[in-house]
Amino acid sequence: MTTISSTSAFPAAERATPQTAFLRRLLKVDAALSAASALPMLVASNWLGGLTGLPTALLFGAGLFLLAWVAALAWLATRERLPRPLLWAVALLNLGWTLDCAWVAFGAAFATTALGQGFLALQGVTTLLLADLMLWALWRSR
């Protein structure tokens, strides 16, 4: 498995390349934003469902998924070496989340409110930006 790191006698944090440090920051930002999104989905899914027009079960399930996502991102961010295939997977899954948000917001399957569409658009744009930055950093580190 190809990994991103440099070879030096210094501790991992000191020998990271700028791209590696940037990728680690992106993973941490993704984890923090995902946790911030998961919290209201889990704690107030009924209330949030009423505001957004989204089914409570969908919100709660997405919140559970995001908790697992946060754990995976946090684990990956703490690895000494960042495996490129896992970083590509993170970027592609973020792109998938973006497409899912667009489908749920504007597809005919759900009667989302304007607030619901805004909620989903915010998530979609955020994950698109994170994926774009990660793909850019991966390209730069090749």
Summary mean pLDDT of the chain: 89
Q: Taking 60 as the threshold, does the pLDDT of residue 6 lie above it?
A: no
Domain range list for the chain: 17-140
- What are 112-133's pLDDT values in tens digits? 999 999 999 999 999 999 999 9
- What are 34-78's pLDDT values in tens digits? 999 999 999 999 999 999 999 999 999 999 999 999 999 999 999
Q: What is the pLDDT of residue 142?
A: 75
Can you give the C-alpha Rg of the chain in angstroms?
17
Q: What is the pLDDT of residue 4?
A: 59
pTM, to two decimals = 0.84
